[in-house]
Each structure stands twice: as structure tokens, then as C-alpha cells.
């Protein structure tokens, strides 16, 4: 039978509290359970793996330069030929497009080697914007301004298909941006800002939309976007999702101040007049929704990763 020894004597009650004498082995450190320790480690790993992968960040300066590099490259590659445009022929302006695409291809390859998904998305978005979105926007704008285009003239189908194609490219770029920016959702707008700004810039260009005018617009918009991304990335984290909508609003205000507006022929149908406005409305929606979609993709990715790890 175990004996008892007093361990504490209250001053007021006069009672003595006894604790059974335990063998010395009871106070010896217990050997660790390897299986339990391993399970605890795996549980912690499952809980934090997705979050750790998604929260790895670079310095603000490095990220600013990386995100603005595609836009600055386009501005230089297409801005210099536009600057010396009086001495250049059409072939030289076409060379500006080719040079910009070559620079984008080189930047894309470097970003792939570095493994930065957001940088890859930036170069991809820049390439698709130059190679696909810009020509589509120019042709769509010219088609909208063509006389006698409308349902009543039986000529609505081409302009509708062109507008739908532009919308499809914009939505695709927004989706690529959102999935690539899941690690840093507040930076999704910095990738999508370039194609978004091109929509009002090209749609409001005075007639005719020549190759020189297109090169000048792309160079100016890419330079403006590069500056916005460079300084916007250095802003406080809570303000970064609002940088691109503000930049987009500033461009719309600047176009309105300088008298740039959507031009239509008097013979254009009502639906044709509504298409550019619908395109602008969808672009505004994508500018606001892309960072939110990236945040949603991030949350879903973390949840799926945790669920898969818990089942393994």
C-alpha cells in the first residue's frame, strides 16, 4: 500500500494535503513514440504545405522590375520605330511587331527557367496582347465604323463575331492571370492592366486606324502601364488591388478630356453602336474581377491540397 507525505499545509484551514508516494520511474522521462512524432510532423506538414507554397514572396523591388519588364520591353521595341516614323516604311513598322514578339519570347523563356508563374503570365499576356488582341481590336474598331453595318442591312454578323473574339481573348487572359497569380492575388491586376488599357485606347483612336497609329498606341499604353506597375507594386499591400482600376479610370478620363470618343457612321445600326460600349463594360468588369478571381483560386487551391493530404 502506498504511503503518503504532506506536500502543502494551508495556513488558515490547518488541513494537510497528501500526495501518494510514487516510484521514481513515474517521474522519469518517457521514451518518445516515433510513430506519434511522425504523425504529428505529417499533420503539421499537411496543414501548412499549401500555405507555405503560396506565401513565398520576392522583394518589392525585384517583383516590381519583373512585372514591369514585359511592358517596358514592348514600349521600347515599338516606341523607337514610332518615334522615327516619318523616315520608316510600312515594313519597318512591321519589324517593330516582330522585334517586340522576339523580346517577349526571350523574356518568357527566362521566366520559365526561373519558375516564377506570375512572371510567366506577364510575358504570356504581353505576347497574346501584341499578337492577337491588338489586331483583333483594330479590325473590330474599323468594322464598327464602316457605313451601313447593322442588322437591318444584313451586315451584323462580322462585327458581332469580331467583338465576341475580342471578348474571348480578354476573358482568357483574365483567367490565365487569375490562376497564375493565386500565390499573390493582389498582383493579378498588374498583369491584366495592359490588355485592359488597350481596349479604350484603340477603340477611341481617330480614323483611320493605320499601322503607325496602332504602333504608337501600343507603345504609349505599354509605357504607361509599365510605370503604373512599377510604382503600384511598391504601394502598400492593401492598396495594390485598387491600383489598376484607378489607372484604368485615369486613362478613360484622359481620353475624354482630349476629345477622344467612340466614332460611328450615321448609317450604323443601334446594335452596332452598343457593341463598343458592351466591350468597354466587360473590360471594366474584368479589371475589377480578376484579383477577386485570383483570391478565390488561392482559397480553392489551399483547400484541395489540404483535403488531398488528409486522405493520403
Per DSSP, the residues of 74-104 read: HHHHHHHHHHTGGG--HHHHHHHHHHHHHHH
Give the model's pLDDT for residue 83.
65
In this predicted structure, which of 40-44, 51-55, 65-69, 134-138 has the lowest mean pLDDT?
A: 51-55
Give the model's pLDDT for residue 23.
54
In this predicted structure, which of 26-35, 170-179, 197-206 has the lowest mean pLDDT?
A: 26-35
Residue 230 pLDDT greater than 60, yes or no: yes
Cα separation of 85 and 6, whole Å? 100
* pTM, full prediction: 0.74
Confidence of residue 169 (pLDDT cuts 50, 70, 90): very high
Average pLDDT, the chain: 77
Residue 6 pLDDT greater than 60, yes or no: no
Comparing 95 with 228, the larger pLDDT belongs to 228
Residue 81 pLDDT greater than 70, yes or no: no
pLDDT over 90, % of the chain: 26
Amino acid at each position: 500500500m502506498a504511503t503518503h507525505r504532506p506536500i502543502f499545509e494551508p495556513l488558515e484551514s490547518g488541513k494537510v494535503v497528501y500526495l501518494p508516494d510514487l516510484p521514481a520511474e513515474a517521474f522519469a522521462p518517457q521514451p518518445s513514440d516515433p510513430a506519434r512524432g511522425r504523425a504529428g510532423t505529417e499533420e503539421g506538414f499537411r496543414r501548412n504545405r499549401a500555405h507555405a507554397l503560396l506565401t513565398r514572396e520576392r522583394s518589392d523591388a525585384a517583383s516590381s522590375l519583373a512585372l514591369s519588364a514585359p511592358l517596358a520591353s514592348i514600349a521600347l521595341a515599338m516606341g523607337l520605330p514610332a518615334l522615327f516614323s516619318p523616315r520608316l516604311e510600312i515594313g519597318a513598322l512591321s519589324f517593330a511587331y516582330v522585334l517586340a514578339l522576339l523580346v517577349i519570347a526571350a523574356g518568357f523563356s527566362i521566366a520559365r527557367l526561373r519558375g516564377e508563374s506570375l512572371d510567366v503570365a506577364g510575358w504570356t499576356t504581353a505576347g497574346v496582347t501584341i499578337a492577337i488582341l491588338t489586331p483583333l481590336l483594330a479590325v473590330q474598331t474599323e468594322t464598327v465604323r464602316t457605313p451601313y453595318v447593322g442588322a437591318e442591312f444584313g451586315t451584323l454578323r462580322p462585327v458581332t463575331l469580331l467583338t465576341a473574339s475580342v471578348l474571348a481573348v480578354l476573358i482568357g487572359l483574365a483567367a490565365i492571370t487569375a490562376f497564375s497569380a493565386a500565390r499573390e492575388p493582389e498582383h493579378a491586376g498588374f498583369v491584366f492592366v495592359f490588355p485592359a488599357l488597350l481596349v479604350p485606347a484603340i477603340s477611341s483612336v481617330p480614323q483611320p486606324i493605320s499601322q503607325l497609329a496602332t504602333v504608337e498606341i501600343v507603345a504609349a499604353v505599354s509605357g504607361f502601364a509599365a510605370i503604373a506597375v512599377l510604382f503600384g507594386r511598391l504601394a502598400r499591400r492593401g492598396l495594390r488591388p485598387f491600383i489598376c482600376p484607378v489607372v484604368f479610370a485615369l486613362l478613360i478620363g484622359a481620353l475624354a478630356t482630349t476629345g477622344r470618343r467612340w466614332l460611328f457612321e450615321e448609317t450604323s445600326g443601334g446594335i452596332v453602336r452598343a457593341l463598343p460600349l458592351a466591350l468597354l463594360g466587360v473590360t471594366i468588369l474584368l479589371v475589377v474581377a480578376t484579383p477577386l478571381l485570383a483570391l478565390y483560386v488561392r482559397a480553392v487551391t489551399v483547400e484541395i491540397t489540404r483535403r488531398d493530404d488528409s486522405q493520403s
